[in-house]
Structure formats: C-alpha cells, structure tokens
Amino acid sequence: MTRLMSARPLAVLLFVALLPVARLRAEEAQSPFVHAHAHNDYEHPRPLSDALDHRFYSVEADIWLVEGRILVAHDEGEWKGTLKDLYLDPLQARVREKGSVHGDGNPFLLWIDLKDGRPELNQELEDLLAQYPMLTVFTDEEMLEGPVTAILTGDAESKTRHVAQFPRRRVCRDGTYSAEDSPADNRWRWVALRWGSFFDWRGEGEIPPEEHAKLTALVNDIHAKGRKLRFWGNPDKESYWRLALATGIDLINTDRLAELETFLAAKAANRP
C-alpha cells in the first residue's frame, strides 16, 4: 500500500514533466510544412538539398532503367544522376544522424515516378530499395513504418505490377479516383490527380462555389476510404495553397520552393 501511495506522486510528476514534450510533438505533427511537396525535385539546382533546406517533407524523382542503373530525369537522356546518389544515400545518412529526415520524428515521402514501364525496372528498383533500412516495409497484411516512405507514381501498369509482384516490398503506389473505389490497402494508399481533369479554376480570384463543393466532397470521399490525396498540374500560387490547406488536400504540389516555404512559415506563426 505504501509503495502504491508513493508511486502515484511520481507518476504525476512524470506526466507533468512530459507534457511539454507531448505538446511539442503535437505541434510538430500539425506543422503545415508536412504538406510541402517538391514536384520534379531533381530539376532544382540542388536536388533534394534545396527541398530539405526549405523544410519540405515530400519530393518526387522520375526514374528510368539504363544499362542496369536507375537514373533520374524527366525526359530520357537528360540524366541528373542516379536515384541512389541523389536521394537514397543522402536520405539514409540524415536518418542515421537525426533519427528522421528532419530530426522531428515526422515521416518523409519519396515519390518515385516510373517513366520506364519495362518489368526489369521493377526488379532492379526493389533490389535497390531493399538496401535501405529507413524505408517503410509493406506486405498485404501489415505496414512497418520507417522514417521514409516510398510511393510509386507514373506508369500505371508498372506500379500496379510492382506491388503485386513483391509480397514484401519497400513501396506502396498511388492511383486515380472513382466514387466506386474500394477502401485503401497496403498496396494502394494514395490518389494523385491532374487538377485540370477535375476543375476549371486556375487560381484567379476565389474558386467558384460549385467547384469548392466538388473538391470538398472529393477530398472527404478519398479520406473516408483511407487514402491521401495530391494534385499535379494545379495552380502554383498562393490562392491554391490556401485552398489546399483549407480543404484538407494532403500535399501541396509546387515548383516554387522558397515561396511555399514563406507561405507555410506564416501559417505556422499564425500570421494572416
């Protein structure tokens, strides 16, 4: 009985002491920077580094298989380097040093756009990714979350083949949208949509009420099915960024790294 009575104040003290840590974690988890996605990140002067310096939590790399190497480029032949050198090795080094990419425990997303639809790329990619313990591991039954999650986008046949081919894999995939979609599973966890295929608004003035209602319904349905959403080809301006945060779009697709950082910093500081 005495031990129980003495343990209770100690537990209370520990709880109070941990409150600031818990509050900090909650604030970090809600940071608007987790929504920042660097579209075609490799086109910037310093691939990955520029995005990290601007506090982004998501980057995109387009890949091709060339003579056994996985190279990064938007168009075939305009190579920027290898996926390993530009992204995988630097991210693993940061995780080794900080525990997570930004050192705050929040997950980081590496989008891998399959430009090359050949089956050989799937095997080479999975063999490469298996070398990196930072990556989230998926099976059809469970997800072992790591500091970095790789998401396949791009060639529809190739990304679908990949998640079916490997029972234990270091990627999930995205897909398009239909109201009849089944709930999310460990193969398909994201939806990536071309903005102009759904909406006419291009960021001038306010989005029309009917399009706002359509967007809200779309976001809510995707989330209800357990998936997350990003658009590409969206208006790359502040009006869209505000809309994305307000309606719950999970990633803000941009080429304007510095400008989006400034916008999100203002949001984080609760400035108008």
Mean confidence (pLDDT) of the chain: 90
Predicted pLDDT of residue 271: 58
Over residues 214-232, the mean pLDDT reads 98
Residue, of 260 and 24, whose pLDDT is higher: 260
13 pLDDT band, cuts 50/70/90, is very low
Query: Does the predicted model carry a pTM greater than 0.85?
Result: yes
Q: Any bridge partners for residue 175, and if so which?
A: 191
Predicted pLDDT of residue 77: 86
pLDDT of 107 higher than 60: yes
Over residues 35-57, the mean pLDDT reads 98
d(CA 155, CA 45): 26
30 pLDDT band, cuts 50/70/90, is low
Question: What domains does the chain contain, in order, with CATH numbers?
Answer: 32-268 (3.20.20.190)
10 pLDDT band, cuts 50/70/90, is very low
pLDDT digits (tens, 9 = 90+) for 48-83: 999 999 999 999 999 999 999 999 999 988 999 999
pLDDT of 147 higher than 50: yes
How buried is 268 (Cβ within 10 angstroms: 0-12 exposed, 13-18 middle, 19+ buried)? middle
